[in-house]
Amino acid sequence: MITLAVSLSRVHNKSFLEMLKNIPDLSWTPGVSQYFLDESIQLSKSQRVNQFAQKTRYVGAPPSSFSWLIEKPECLKVSDKQSCSGADGAFSSVGAFSDNRCISGKDSSCVAYSEQYMLSCESAHSGCNGISMVSSQNFLKETGVPTDKCVSFRSGTGKNFKCPTVCDDGLKLNLIKSSSYQDVCSGEQSIMIALTKGTVQTTIDLYTDFFFYIEGIYKNVAGTYQNTEHVTFVGYGEENGTKYWVVRNSWGTSWGENGYFRIVRGVNECEIELQCYLVVV
């Protein structure tokens, strides 16, 4: 994934916002979030990478609704990649790794693992310039990451750093690996069942209107394709007859529904059901 910083002008476009507000029966609320009022924030200009792993299909009867925000909220946290525009690949994969170690009991509480270590040490990519899902999952499996306490996030300004050989405090690195990963995007049911096992890294194609999302169940209604963002499925449900996924972003808690968004489920909206990875810890 190649990532370039782009202007915030698209989220400060008043005429586009007014057009969205006048669309009848819109299932989500448009506006300009607090996150985008910070002019230092840089948005990524990323293209989807066609790099796939073998599909895994889960079958069975999943519950009608499920969310780790309800089941184990203490295991989830929202991060902010700030102006490290291509860090979403690291945040979504390492975040799911952290979630699932807590959910599975491998960690007795939520432990933050180091996105910075992946950004600095994954050799095929270059820090804030981005990383693909398969590469991020391979890195977790083959190399592993230390805790965020050991190597903390420093690339929020967009600067890349060399791969560290010791922790920030000079102590020895202790790298924790995943066991494996599975591409569970083999249909709506497969994703639903996979989500009962842990959170799932995915991507979404973003259109202009997504940058005006405040709350509700998102569906693309206007604008052109802008970029692809790595995000994380954390649950699913239904509201007033509309099925949705619950998804975590890496734009901090001042964006969306406390850092999360909902998006229509079962129709591969914005390619969000195309490719997604369950991190097996």
Q: Residue 1: what pLDDT?
A: 43
In contact, 199 and 172? CB cutoff 8 Å = no
Q: Residue 13: what pLDDT?
A: 86
Q: Which domain holds residue 165?
A: 5-280
Q: Residue 5: what pLDDT?
A: 42
Q: Give the chain's mean pLDDT.
A: 92
Alpha carbons within 13 angstroms on the beta-carbon side of residue 189 total 6
Q: How many domains does the chain have?
A: 1
Angle between helices 133-142 and 88-104 (to 10 degrees): 50
Span 46-69, pLDDT tens digits = 555 666 678 999 999 999 999 999
Handedness of CA 235, 238, 239, 243 (dihedral sign): positive
Q: Residue 3: what pLDDT?
A: 41
CATH number of the CATH domain containing 269: 3.90.70.10
Q: How far apart are CA 40 and CA 95, in angstroms?
A: 24
Span 144-203, pLDDT tens digits = 999 999 999 999 999 999 999 999 999 999 999 999 999 999 999 999 999 999 999 999
Q: What is the bridge-based pairing of β-strands 5-6 and 43-44?
A: antiparallel
Q: Dig out the tokens for 257 from the structure.
A: 């529904």
Task: For the chain, list residues with pLDDT below 70.
Answer: 1-10, 39-52
Q: Residue 2: what pLDDT?
A: 39
**Amino acid identity, residue 121?**
C
